[in-house]
Amino acid sequence: MRITDVEAIYVRLPEVRQQCDSGQDALIVKVHTDEGITGIGEVDSAPVAAQAAILGPYSHTLTCGLKHLVLGEDPFETEYLWHKMYNGNIYAGRSGVALHAMSGIDMALWDIKGKKLGLPVWKLLGGGFRKSIRCYASSLFGATPAETGERARRFAGMGFSAVKFGWAPMGQDAEMDVALVAQARQGLGSTPDLLVDAGMVWDAKTAIQRARAFSEHNIFWLEEPLAPDDYEGYRKLTEATTVRIAAGEEESGRHTFRRLIVEGRIDVVQVDLTRCGGFTEAMKIASIAGDHGLPVANHGFSTYINVAAALHWLAAVPNALIAEYVTQEGTHLRDLITRQRIQAVDGYLAVPQEPGLGVELNEDAIRDLRVV
Ligand code: MG
């Protein structure tokens, strides 16, 4: 089997609003083969920059659009192709957009392998650790603490045993920060786990103060309180609190994950399959985390392609903790562009059992929402 073409399709809702929600647009990757099997993948990044990283022309031996590095190759050789893409485009980035773009292609290659063999990706990855996984309802904070409490009540009523709120208005001042968490806890009641995603708003000392204040409301983890490169701050924070500190969604490639783990000493390693380098790299990141006694969770605020990929990966590693499942209200691209809508049932997500990723595109919607 040979790769005959790679497409990178930028889709976007007609209206993109100024808010922290990466579910408004997407870059969809299709890898075609000479046997008529097409694999799909997703890149959650700056879509047009990642598109250029895939489709761009050959420049020289260390800078080349990723498409040209995989054309004519055997899609089953995922480890080899990962290194060929990494080394063949190394000037353009050993992390960031270059790795994001690689994620979409790597994901599509694993989808091809699964479709050809009639097996789900988790089985090809050597998995079988679980058939389903507990998930948390993932949402932005309400505009006010009271609105956050209302959302919490709704999500708890939907059967989730864990709920996360994130980003603004967290970070304005101590009073607002604590009120948001207090109201979220009040809305949830005492039993469900409450996860807090700060959204990179503090320095280490402020984060230590907030972790102490939030622990009165029994939080399950505190996510991304600091800037992603503040490894020393992460170390100070994790040494000063018993609250689990989660991070990783800004990372791509195992090398910066290693720094967060070894230097930052984080407690939960969050991996986005559409950014980290795909399945091939995500398996290595999970292994590094496991070697340090740490659990992993997925990050995913985009489409059901991302959700499906995360579930295959979480089923294939021994140290999966919990899955992110977006419950943010409003119009979302994810509900339009795939035929499947992966739904949580009683707070759990089932691992897909169909060949490949187990998710297919809604081609009519892709045509309608395609920008370039
Ligand atoms: Mg986050």
- Per mean pLDDT, which range of 203-217, 259-273, 332-346 is the poorest? 332-346
> What pLDDT, on the 0 to 100 scale, is given for residue 241?
98
How many H-runs (helices) and E-runs (strands) does the chain carry?
14, 14
Q: Under DSSP, is residue 120 helix (H, G, I), strand (E, B) or coil?
A: strand
> What pLDDT, on the 0 to 100 scale, is given for residue 276?
98
Separation of CA 223 and ligand 1 centre (Å): 6
> What pLDDT, on the 0 to 100 scale, is given for residue 154?
96
Do the strands 3-12 and 268-271 form a parallel or antiparallel pair, or are they unpaired?
unpaired
Q: Under DSSP, is residue 319 helix (H, G, I), strand (E, B) or coil?
A: coil
Name residues whose C-beta falls within 8 Å of residue 213's C-beta, 6 or more positions apart in sequence: 174, 177, 178, 181
With 80 as the cut, is the pLDDT of residue 24 above it? yes
Separation of CA 199 and ligand 1 centre (Å): 6
With 80 as the cut, is the pLDDT of residue 330 above it? no
With 90 as the cut, is the pLDDT of residue 17 above it? no
> What pLDDT, on the 0 to 100 scale, is given for residue 271?
98
Separation of CA 112 and ligand 1 centre (Å): 30
Q: What confidence category does residue 16 fall into, taking pLDDT thresholds of 50, 70 and 90? A: confident
Q: State percent of the chain over pLDDT 90.
A: 95
Alpha carbons 150 and 27: distance in angstroms, whole number: 33
With 90 as the cut, is the pLDDT of residue 328 above it? no
β-bridge partners, 11: 26, 370
Mind listing the pLDDT tens digit for each residue in 59-103? 999 999 999 999 999 999 999 999 999 999 999 989 999 999 999
Q: At residue 270, what are phi and psi to the nearest 5 degrees?
A: -100, 125
Separation of CA 97 and ligand 1 centre (Å): 18
Is 299 catalytic? The answer is: yes
Q: What confidence category does residue 185 fall into, taking pLDDT thresholds of 50, 70 and 90? A: very high
Secondary structure E strands in the chain: 3-12, 25-33, 38-43, 58-60, 63-64, 132-140, 162-166, 193-197, 219-223, 245-247, 268-271, 296-298, 320-326, 348-350
Mind listing the pLDDT tens digit for each residue in 256-286? 999 999 999 999 999 999 999 999 999 999 9
Separation of CA 15 and ligand 1 centre (Å): 23
Mind listing the pLDDT tens digit for each residue in 28-61? 999 999 999 999 999 999 999 999 999 999 999 9
Q: At residue 334, what are phi and psi to the nearest 5 degrees?
A: -60, -30
Separation of CA 300 and ligand 1 centre (Å): 9
Q: What confidence category does residue 15 fall into, taking pLDDT thresholds of 50, 70 and 90? A: confident
Query: Which entry of 32, 100, 217, 299 is annotated as an active-site residue?
Result: 299
Cα torsion through 239, 241, 246, 248, rounded to 10:
-30
Angle, to 10 degrees, between the axis of helix 278-291 and the axis of helix 78-88?
100
> What pLDDT, on the 0 to 100 scale, is given for residue 301?
86
Mind listing the pLDDT tens digit for each residue in 112-168? 999 999 999 999 999 999 999 999 999 999 999 999 999 999 999 999 999 999 999
With 80 as the cut, is the pLDDT of residue 19 above it? no
Separation of CA 166 and ligand 1 centre (Å): 7
